[in-house]
Amino acid sequence: MQARAMGFLLFIAGMGGLLYGIDVGIIAGALPYLESTASVAWRLSAQQLSFIVAAVLLGSVLSSLFAGALADWIGRRWAMVLSGVLFSLSIPLIALADGYIPLLLGRLLQGISGGLIGVIVPLYLAECLHARQRGRGAALFQLLLTIGLVAAAVVGLLQAHTVESATAAAQALSETERVAAVFAAKDNAWRSIFWWCLTPGLVFTVGSLLLAESPRWLARRGRIEEARTALLRTRPADEAEAELREIQQALAPAAATAGAPAASDPLLSRRYMLPFLIACLVLALNQATGINSVLAYVVNILNQAGLPGATANTADVVLKVLNALMTIVAVVLVDRKGRKFLLMLGTGGIVTALLAAGLLFRSVEGGQRDVRPQLQAHIQADSLALRLDDATVTSLGVNLKEAPQQLTVAYSYGPFTNVQTRRSDDAALPVLRMSREETVQPDSVIGAFFRKLHLNPFADPAEGQNAPLHIERADIAAVPPTAHGWWVALAMCLFVASFAVGPGVCVWLALSELMPTRIRSNGMSIALLINQFVSTMIAAVFLPTVGQYGYATMFFGWAGCTLLYFLTATFLLPETKGKTLEEIEAHFARH
């Protein structure tokens, strides 16, 4: 009976990891088709597409603000139920979207769900599992997270083959009919990818209703008998009684050991500061590796590196499967080798992978040719529209006998900027259109409010209304060969494998283990808030940054942050393997 209850607990908590993985990974397969259709049908800019990707992360930031307080108020179990309901509601909102705002709101709601899951499920596992099982429990959460990424990638691959089949079938049609058929196939592809996510959301929601509440939450509420019953569901009677006594002792206003914290101590009291700051630093650096952006943009990255359509989607699936397999390795090692060793091993591998990827991109980005004068000559009435067909490629001074070409243009109307990329081997040959109407965003209540306060985080539309079109960068280069794409894919494999075996698992343990019981829920919320804020910022600037400065710059920046992560794991992080939460708390109290 105890084994069955434990198995069900781990399964549902793992389903939370699955949803979190879907939150992060589902956009990777959908984004190329969303970018191809939304930029044409809804006139979305690169910045708006970045916001759609980052909306999940922004939603996580928002929900992280109140996740701990919510878990303290209604309990861990009901907070998990709520996160499942929000995820399930987000899917139809996204898949049925007919414009930028509903799509953004749906992704934001999906992110709010993910933020709740990211705090509450690891918190629930830490408080419900025995010390000898806690490492594997957190690793299982991460394993199901990686399986969620695999599932998202497989769905993306299936849709990629569907789009390629539709494209091949449309070759016999006229150009107008062919473009329309390819457009319809791509539009249906990204919507179908999101519909596939509804079932796991419903399973997690219903399963969470059948779980027992956290015994530590119950004990903090004075519901000792219910806490004992919850412990007895997954432990023998003697272990349950011993752990209950330890929980009560840690929660007592006057603890048995000298200098133990009172229940009323504030979050930032001196005794809590060190574990709190270490956890926040680890959570921030975990995202500064670039992991979420790599997983979200991996198909785009591999396309840019030289792997075509479905091949890039296949490589994406391979990456996500590797992620899952290496997480299984981490499940085996985390309670044997310890958290510190795995973090050092993983961050060292990530630095190597990012440097390799950056050097590979630098080798091809150095061959770009500046075609700003040619494009500037085509501007009429402060706007420009062109297809990257054979005639356009020739007019830009490129020999048609060379490999397929890729054109990247960064332009602005005053403070409003955008970046667009087109490839000459795209069957739909979408128009690259630069116009004031599509670049200068209308004013918003939020922007006007900040300007009244003499703050200017948002551009003023009035400054863009009369500004001329200025092409800041226009580079054309041959699409890299397939072999180059596979070398980049190999570097990404090292990146993902290193992350999975180290930071991927250990970050959840650092989040839940380092925080003392008194501040665990609120401390975890703040640490995850920092984590998601860093991730959101990286995702929001990814497309504009790589458009302006290239992929190499992004990879080198992430490598520098990961080097700092390695030093943090080496010199600041204590080993918590095999220790109860109360023993870890006593360790920091002594220091």
**Residue 462 vs residue 302, higher pLDDT:** 302
pLDDT over 60 (residue 446) = no
Query: Looking at residue 38, what is its pLDDT?
Result: 66
> Helix (H, G, I), strand (E, B), or coil: what is residue 442?
coil
Residue 192 has pLDDT above 60, yes or no: yes
Nearest to 27 by CA among 60, 6, 57, 69: 57
Confidence band for 135, pLDDT divided at 50, 70 and 90? low
Least confident of 39-43, 235-239, 471-475: 39-43
Comparison of pLDDT for 54 and 398, the residue scoring more: 398
d(CA 125, CA 9): 9
Most confident of 161-165, 340-344, 392-396: 340-344
Question: Class of 2-211+266-363+484-590 per CATH?
Answer: mainly alpha
Domain positions in the chain = 2-211+266-363+484-590, 215-251, 369-408+417-438+446-481
Q: What is the overall mean pLDDT for the chain?
A: 80
pTM exceeding the 0.85 threshold for the entire prediction: no
Q: Residue 85: is its pLDDT beyond 80?
A: yes
- Residue 196 pLDDT class (50, 70, 90 cuts): confident
Lowest mean pLDDT among 218-227, 434-443, 575-584: 575-584
Burial 255-268 (b: 16+ CB within 10 A, else e): beeeebbeeeeeee
SS (H, E, C) 120-175: HHHHHHHHHCCHHHHHHHHHHHHHHHHHHHHHHHHHHHHHHHHHHHHHHHHHHCCH
Condensed to tens digits (0 to 9), the pLDDT of residues 511-521 reads 667 776 667 66
Going by C-beta distance under 8 Å and a sequence separation of 6 or more, which residues neighbour residue 170?
Answer: 177, 178, 181, 182, 427
540-565: pLDDT as tens digits: 788 778 877 888 999 999 999 999 99
Report the alpha-carbon distance of residue 124 to residue 121 in Å, rounded: 5
